[in-house]
Chain A
Amino acid sequence: MSTSESRFPVSRPALGAGGATGAWRTKKPIINISLCVYCGLCDVYCPTSSITVLTRERKIEVNYDYCKGCGLCASVCPRKAITMVEE
């Protein structure tokens, strides 16, 4: 969270407010494009919004600057298209 305001206890989402957390990663998600059906479940579950899935455009992208390598995406993927690989 970033509290940009000094009078009001509200926060607005900001990219990388907690720093580039990609450096915390020990394992890295690798996507097997041939298995992916672009359902977007990994995108929904990712706690740092580091995976973007565009279903219609059939696009999937991981932002490795912020992905902490938690592996949630790999565990929720119904097609087992994501593998966690040692850095």
Chain B
Amino acid sequence: MRREALTGNQAVAMAVMYSDVKFVAAYPITPQTSIVEKISYFVEKGLMKAKFVNVESEHSALAMTYGAALGGVRSFTATSSHGLLYMHEWVHWASRSRVPLVMAVVTRTIGPPWNIWPDHSDYMDQRDAGWIMLFAMDAQEAFDMTVQAFRISEDERVFLPVMVGLEGFIVGGTTMSVALPDEESVKEWVGERRQPFVFDGSANITLGNLASPEDTYILHRNIHEDLLRSIEVIKEIEKDYSETFGLPYIGPVETVGEKESSYAVISMGAWSGDLAEAIKQLGRNDVSLYRIRVYRPFPCKELRQALSRKNGIVVFDRSISFGSFGPLYMDVKACLDSEYTNVVNVIGGLGGVDHSLGEYVSVLRKILGEMDREEKLEKQIWMEVSR
């Protein structure tokens, strides 16, 4: 397979071109800009046969992407942080309309204070919207997940929008060697555009009309149930992708280390690499890392299997639900049976803080030591930061 040196953002742009996307509307925002910059270059050079619209705001960016998707074409947009918050109304419109489309979210802290560095606060803010939410840890995954996202979104069992998360700068802006399948084979694999209904003026149909509370209830319950069932579709599509292009299948949760270990560390995104390295440095083979790649639907069944008979679980969150816990921790806790009491939430990396390997080693040594000695545990621990 051909390899190319790409940043995470460039990998997403390539995936969009390879997936035969016909419409892109976007508004630039750091650290997302280089995705749509690259796409606009592809369109301008005639490499990608698509319409690119530079809109006046993110609210319009997703609204137009949505409109084009309703109209029957494969559509894409990308954003970050305040741009994502500005389009939040349309995030709900897209999922509650059951319109297939794909958006890349290059994560960045929400201000104030003004901050362009990555954490997961913007991404997590979308967690209850009814989208399928994937999260990549490097440029290769950003490419693979984006291609798969179109197939997942347009699968008739799903028909929901898909968000692909990747951290700004650390993933979006750093370069790695990415294995690229042949463009034509990717186009063929993604296939023809599929959607539940088309608004092209040919049928008497309206969307978003007033409905009874009961009709609304049933529609919303169906979003939830289809989303829960979609985990099998996501696995099936990733398997098909990896078999077709000869790439490894990872699944919704990646395990690093022994399956039968006593302790689990759970994380999502690029810092999982630091955590894997920290576990190695600790020299403990009774600790394994579980990396969440599919955040919505939350892979409850997969995690329950992976975490059965663990003596202790440490969940790393790169965002905080102010006044409560990290979102990942809350999801993990909700999935586990009540006998799991040794579950600790570590909060870190907010505002883009880059903790050192030594800091991960020391926080893990402290918590695992307490678990070894069966001491009383603090439920929430914040990584230390020196200014």
Contacts and interface: CB of A to CB of B under 8 A. Distances in A.
B47 interface: no
A3 B222 contact: no
B231 to A, nearest CB: 18
A9 interface: yes
B208 A7 contact: no
In the complex, which of the residues A1, A3, A9 has the most CB atoms of chain B within 10 Å of its own CB atom?
Answer: A9
Contacts of A9: 96-98, 207-209, 211, 219
Nearest to A14: B204
> Chain A: interface residue count, which band?
10 to 19
A7 B98 contact: yes
Interface in B184-211: 196-197, 203-211
Contacts of B211: 1, 3, 9, 11
Contact of A8 (B196, B203, B204, B210): B196
B1 interface: no
Contacts of B196: 7-8
A13 B203 CA distance: 10
In the complex, which of the residues A6, A10, A12, A13 has the most CB atoms of chain B within 10 Å of its own CB atom?
Answer: A10
> Chain B: interface residue count, which band?
20 to 34
B316 interface: no
Nearest to B214: A3
Contacts of B222: 6-7
B210 A1 contact: yes
B226 interface: yes
Q: Is the interface of A mostly helix, strand, loop or mixed?
A: loop
Interface string A53-84: 00000000000000000000000000000000
A11 B97 CA distance: 12
B98 A1 contact: no
In the complex, which of the residues B159, B209, B210 has the most CB atoms of chain A within 10 Å of its own CB atom?
Answer: B209
Contact of A7 (B205, B206, B210, B226): B226
Nearest to B225: A7
B385 interface: no
B226 A11 contact: no
A65 to B, nearest CB: 20
Contacts of A12: 203-206
Interface in A1-48: 1, 3, 6-13
Contacts of B209: 1, 3, 9, 11
B334 interface: no
A1 B206 contact: yes
A8 B196 CA distance: 8
A1 B226 CA distance: 24
A11 B222 CA distance: 17
Contacts of A7: 98, 159, 196, 219, 222, 226
A7 B227 CA distance: 12
A6 B219 contact: yes
A84 B379 CA distance: 74
Nearest to A6: B218
A8 B158 CA distance: 12
Query: Which 8 A/B pairs are nearest by Cβ-Cβ distance?
Result: A3-B215, A1-B209, A11-B209, A3-B211, A10-B207, A7-B222, A8-B98, A6-B218
Interface of A: 1, 3, 6-13
